[in-house]
């Protein structure tokens, strides 16, 4: 939920799984490794999806990258 902009976000599937993993600090590699252990996906797919999702969250100021 972004109170400042009056936006509400709903996540499902892999996006929800990534969001739950972000409850604790994880590196990009750790996120990808955890997802690879859970999902079967073509090489590079998980990395691309994590990059897209995390970038989207950061652009909306819902996540701070460090």
pLDDT digits 0-9 by tens, 15-32: 899 989 988 988 999 999
Q: Is residue 32 part of a domain?
A: yes
| 46 contacts 36 by C-beta, under 8 angstroms | yes
Rg (CA), the chain: 12
Instruction: Report yes or no on 33 lying in a domain.
Output: yes
What's the domain count of the chain? 1
Asked, for residue 7, whether it belongs to a domain, the answer is no
- Residues 24-66 have pLDDT tens digits of 988 999 999 999 999 999 889 999 999 999 998 888 888 888 8
Contacts of 38 (CB under 8 A, 6+ apart): 17
Domain span including residue 53: 13-59
Total Cβ atoms within 10 A of residue 35: 19
């Amino acid at each position: 939920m972004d109170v400042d902009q009056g936006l509400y976000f709903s996540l499902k599937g892999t996006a929800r799984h990534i969001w739950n993993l972000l409850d604790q600090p994880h590196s990009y590699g750790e996120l990808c490794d955890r997802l690879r252990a859970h999902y079967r996906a073509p090489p590079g797919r998980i990395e691309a999806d994590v990059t897209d999702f995390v970038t989207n969250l950061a652009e909306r100021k819902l996540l701070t990258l460090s």
